[in-house]
Structure 1
Amino acid sequence: MSTTGIFTRVRSNYSGDEVRPLGGYLRAMGGFSGLVGLAALVGGARGARLPERFSWSDTVLVSVAVHKASRLLTKSSVAGALRAPFTRFEGSTGEGEVAESVPPSGTHRHAVGELLTCPFCSDVWLATAFTAGLVLAPRATRLVATALAAVAGSDSLHLAYDAAKSAVARASEG
C-alpha cells in the first residue's frame, strides 16, 4: 500500500465522517518543530547558555504576556486582518473581541484557522517564543512581555471599573 493510501486509511479511521485536517496539523507541528530547531541553532551559534532555572518573576511575566498576546492574536478585532484568509467573521463578542469560524474543509486553511482562533492552541507557540526570547534576547523579551502584561492589567482594571459602574447603577435603581 502506498504512503498516500496509508495516510488516507489512518485519516478515515481517525475522523470517520468528520473532516479533520490531519495533514494541516502535521504541517503545523513540522513548522513549530522547525522554528524550535532554528532557535536552538541560533542560540548555539551565538553561544547562548540555557539558564539553570527561570525565576518566578519571569515565569509570571511570561504567563501574563502570553495570555494577552494570545487574546490579541486570536480574538482582537484589529488582528482579524491576519486571520481573515483562514476564518470567517461571525460577530462581535464585546471588549474589542470577535467570534470567527474556521472553514469546514480538511485543508491547511482549516488547521491554520484553528491555530489562529484558539487562544489555548496559540499559547504553546507564543510561550515557546517568549521562553526562547528569554534565552536569546532577555532584555528585549522582558520589555515586550512587560508591555503586554501592562495591557492585561489595564484590561482587568477596565472590566472591574465597568462592573463597579453596573453595580452602582443596579443599586440606585433598586
Structure 2
Amino acid sequence: MKRLRETYENGERRPLPGYLLALGAYGVFTGALALVGKRTGARLPKRIGLGDTVLLTVATHKASRLLTKEAITSPLRAPFTRYEAPAGEAELVESVPEGGHKHAVGELLTCPFCAAVWIATGLSAGLVLAPRQTRLVSTVLAAVAGSDLLQLGYDRAKHITG
C-alpha cells in the first residue's frame, strides 16, 4: 500500500496522514455508538423536534468552545499545542506543531468547528441512548452559553455607561 503524502501537488504541506487517522477515529466512534444502540435495543426517534435541535446547537457550540479555547481545558490540549497568548474572556490562543499526527490532533483540539462535529454526534447519540441525561447536560451547557452572553453584555454596558 502506498504511503499517503503530506504534500499537495502545489507543494503545500498538510498532515494528511494525521487527518486520515482522525477520520478513521471518527468512523470508529460513530460505529461504536451505533453498535451500543443496537446492543441496547435503542430506537431512533420518529422525529427530532425544533426544541431538541436548538438545545443541541447551543450545547454543541458551548462544549466546542469549552474544549478548544477555554483556559480551564488547556491541560487537555497542552500535549498537542503551544500556548501563544490570552484571547479575551477566559480563552487562549494556541498553535499546533507543524506536520504529523500531533498537528492533526492539535487542530481538532483547537478548532471549535472541527470539535463540533464530534460533540454534535455524541450529543445526538445521547438523545437516542440516554435522552434524559443528555437533555440535562445539554441544558447545563446552553445555560452556561446564555450566561456567557449576559456576562459579556454586562461588561460591555459597564464600559458604555462609565
Instruction: Confirm or deny a common fold (TM above 0.5).
Output: yes
1:1-174 paired onto structure 2 within 5 Å: 3-4=2-3, 7-8=4-5, 11-12=6-7, 14=8, 16-104=10-98, 106-169=99-162
- How far residue 17 of structure 1 moved from its aligned partner, in angstroms, is 3.0
| Structure-1 separation of matches of 2:82 and 2:61 | 23
TM-score norm. by structure 1 comes to: 0.90
Q: Deviations over 1:63-121 (max 9, x none)?
A: 000000000000000111000000000000111000000111x2110000000000001
CA 1:79 to 1:165, structure 2 compared with 1: closer, same or farther past 3 Å?
same
| Structure-1 separation of matches of 2:126 and 2:58 | 15
| Structure-2 separation of matches of 1:142 and 1:46 | 19
| Structure-2 separation of matches of 1:111 and 1:162 | 36
Q: Which has the larger radius of gyration?
A: 1
| Unpaired stretches in structure 1, ≥5 consecutive residues | 170-174
| Structure-1 separation of matches of 2:141 and 2:132 | 14
| Structure-1 separation of matches of 2:113 and 2:17 | 20
Kindly provide the amino acid, as one letter, of the partner of residue 117 in structure 2: V
- How far residue 18 of structure 1 moved from its aligned partner, in angstroms, is 2.9
| Structure-2 separation of matches of 1:23 and 1:31 | 12
TM-score norm. by structure 2 comes to: 0.96
Q: Deviations over 1:33-83 (max 9, x none)?
A: 001001101101111111111011111011000000000000000111000
Kindly provide the amino acid, as one letter, of the partner of residue 3 in structure 1: K
Alignment partner of 1:112: what SS? helix
| Structure-2 separation of matches of 1:18 and 1:90 | 24
Aligned residues: 162
| Unpaired stretches in structure 2, ≥5 consecutive residues | none
Alignment partner of 2:71: what SS? coil
